[in-house]
Amino acid sequence: MQETTTPFGSRLQLAMEAYGPLCAGLDPHRELVQGWGLDYSLAGLERFAMTCVEAYAGQVAIVKPQSAFFEVFGSGGVRVLERVLADLRAAGTLTLLDVKRGDIGSTMQAYADAYLGKDSDLRADAVTVSPFLGYESLRPALDLAGQTGRGVFVLALTSNPEGPSVQHAMRDDLSVAASVAVGAALDNTAAVARGELGSIGLVIGATVGTAVKDLGIDLVAAGTPVLAPGFGAQGGTVDALRQTFGAAVAQVLASSSREVLTAGPDVASLRAAATDAAYRLRDLLAV
């Protein structure tokens, strides 16, 4: 499939309308791999990952491989990840590589080239990044994503118990999370002017309750796409999504990994679990 520089936000919006607002996680951690009756080895990783590719390709809006579960197997695991990304790319299915990289200067540029560069074997349609060194430290990734039609999801409000101590911290009457949201909103200005979803998104946990409202984060006006991890087995529900995101719920990708992946290793069962979850989300959220 020929690649395009059409903005990621536009492609994501079309994919969500076509397949429903589900981000299908591809997390080959030990418990799930062994739960499929596979050895926790490079061969088991490859069998697990390629089964997911066969089940998800052309069936869901976007697939999110967790890079760490491939990296743990060294260069062999990275080669499997490259194959996963290439096969989903060939099938026309969007990929969101969960790498959570964050650094400064030439190092951040190298991370950007690795995951967003048009010629990289590890290129994905979007990646996750960490703004701990400051939102503008991510500029190499943000700019390269714009040039190559890719997207970036920036950590903002996570559901781990340690998150609020940093993310809710205030400076000049603005929380850390809200300042990240402002940065994303500014980068999405041109897309909003075109009436499109932006290509710079935020990672906001499906179980953070009223934090978005409490911190004054306006996702709707900013045209900000949201990745909401924690839907399903981790406790996130449709009602929780509505409570957390309100009028912005149509911009939310609910990420589910474990709940869907337990339907494997049968390809047909795994595909059915993913598509059922996606359609159920679309119907219940009316998006």
pLDDT digits (tens, 9 = 90+) for 265-275: 999 999 999 99
Would you call 254 helix, strand, or coil by DSSP?
strand
State the Cα–Cα distance between residues 134 and 131, nearest whole angstrom: 5
Q: Which two tokens stand for residue 80?
A: 């499997």
**Is 64 a known active-site residue?**
no
pLDDT of residue 80: 98
Backbone angles phi and psi of 51, in degrees to 5: -65, -40
Write the pLDDT tens digit of every residue in 94-120: 999 999 999 999 999 999 999 999 999
Question: Which domain CATH number covers 124?
Answer: 3.20.20.70
- Residue 2 domain-assigned (yes or no): no
Q: Summarize the confidence of residues 245-262 as an average pLDDT.
A: 92
pLDDT at 233: 55
- Establish if 134 belongs to a structural domain: yes
Q: What is the mean pLDDT of residues 60-76?
A: 98
Q: Note down the domain range covering 112.
A: 8-280
Would you state the pLDDT for residue 232?
A: 65
pTM score: 0.95
- Residue 285 forms part of a structural domain: no
Tally of domains in the chain: 1
Span 207-226, average pLDDT:
94
Cα four-point dihedral sign 215, 216, 220, 225: negative
* Cα–Cα dist 38/45, whole Å: 8
Predicted local confidence at residue 237, as pLDDT: 81
Q: Has residue 73 been placed in a domain?
A: yes
Residue 1 vs residues 56, 59, 86, 89: alpha-carbon distances, Å: 17, 16, 10, 7
Average pLDDT over all residues of the chain: 94
The share of the chain scoring above pLDDT 70, in percent, equals 97
- pLDDT, one tens digit per residue, over 234-251 is 556 888 898 899 999 999
CB 114 within 8 A of CB 122: yes
Q: Is residue 16 assigned to a domain? A: yes
In 119-199 the beta strands, taken as DSSP E runs, fall at 126-129, 151-157, 170-171, 174-175
Tell me the average pLDDT across 141-160. 97
Question: In this structure, is residue 287 part of a structural domain?
Answer: no
241 contacts 280 by C-beta, under 8 angstroms: no
Q: Mean pLDDT, to the nearest integer, of 137-155?
A: 98
Distance between CA 126 and CA 128 in Å, rounded?
7
Strands (DSSP E) found in 113-242: 126-129, 151-157, 170-171, 174-175, 200-204, 226-228
Please pick, among 64, 100, 118, 213, the residue that the annotation labels catalytic: 100
Q: Is residue 195 in a domain? A: yes
Q: Is 286 a domain residue?
A: no
pLDDT above 80: residue 122: yes
